[in-house]
Amino acid sequence: MTKVACIGECMIELKQAQGTQASLFSRGYGGDTLNTAVYLARLGAGTDYITALGDDSLSDEMIAGWAAEGVGTTRVARLPGKLPGLYMIQTDDKGERRFFHWRDSAAARSLMDLPQTPEILGSLATYEMIYLSAITLSLYGEEGRARLFAALKRAREAGARLAFDTNFRARGWPDLDVARAVYHDAFELADIVLASTEDLLPLYPGESNEALLAQIPGNEVVLKLSEPASILRLAGVSHQIRAEPLKAPVVDTTAAGDSFAAAYVAARLAGADPKEAARAGHRLAGVVVCHAGAIIPRAAMPPGLIPTTSGKASP
């Protein structure tokens, strides 16, 4: 049975080819929730990706690539005449990245306004976990978000759990007041919130870690810190979880948070307690940042990553 539905957008990715002149770029694809979907599938969680694409050859390539990773694509709407969004990455010598986007008319932005939207939203109740990010919510207008939130409420009533990642991009929001209001609604609905100080401080400037956590009412909240650690709050009690030291230099921080989310959710689905899930998240993210690009080679995936109820890691 498919356990997870990831909702969001995948875009064409352009990044400067290593060892070449600045005018040469390699082409791939990526997006925050898609990155998480791929890592979830690699970690053994049955995962579908829910989005909209065009009917072009680049969209065909995306579908084939996701399927090759074991990500289900039956919930992907295909829109004639539309195209995926496009983004370009620049990475500095410390591995920090800067993004440039061309996505205003991307197919994914229409997902909440299609003839097949009611069927797609109705399917959410068939999943064990639904995962989305604040970037997902920024794709849709007010009416589209209202449709999605209503469907998420129905899915939770049917037994699904919602994991919300606070991934924040200021350019996706008309102003911070709108963003804060949407975050508030998502926080109220989510069973698991995966947050970071990097995401929340632009929304709540100058707040302490404790004050940032106080913005989130849920029982299971992870706040990733600027240092290699996180604060896990369970039923009002906070626990600090420290990451293991990195075994290689940081190359590219792309998808650090996305991979953390995948390992955390996969571990929770496998029956691990939240503390072990957070340690699994730090471990995978610590490997991902030592490789270029959002998706690391399969051979680089750390073995035995997902702990289970028995206390033993999965193979």
pLDDT digits (tens, 9 = 90+) for 256-284: 999 999 999 999 999 999 999 999 999 99
Classified as helix, coil or strand, 7 is: strand
Residue 307 clears pLDDT 70, i.e. is over it = yes
Q: How many CB atoms lie within 10 A of CB 227?
A: 9
**Token couple for 101:** 């986007």
**DSSP structure class, residue 290:** T
Q: Residue 250 pLDDT > 60, yes or no? A: yes
Instruction: Please say if the pLDDT value at position 292 is more than 90.
Output: no
CA dist 115 and 98 (Å) reads: 36
Encoding tokens for residue 136? Answer: 């997902």
Kindly report whether the global pTM for this prediction surpasses the value 0.85: yes
258 belongs to the catalytic site: yes
Backbone phi, psi, residue 313, to 5° = -75, 150
Residue 311 pLDDT level (bands cut at 50, 70, 90): very low
Task: Name the catalytic one among 48, 165, 199, 258.
Answer: 258
Is the pLDDT at 95 greater than 70? The verdict is: no
Question: Given a cut of 60, is residue 144 above it in pLDDT?
Answer: yes
- The per-residue pLDDT for 252 is 81
Q: Bridge partners of 130?
A: 5, 162
Indicate the class that CATH gives domain 4-8+32-57+110-300.
alpha beta
Q: What are the extents of the domains in the chain?
A: 4-8+32-57+110-300
Quickly list DSSP for 93-147.
TTS-EEEEEE-TT-GGGGGGGSTTHHHHHHGGGG-SEEEEEHHHHHTS-HHHHHH
221 pairs with which residues across the strands?
Answer: 193, 233
Task: Give the pLDDT band of residue 17 (cuts 50, 70, 90).
Answer: low
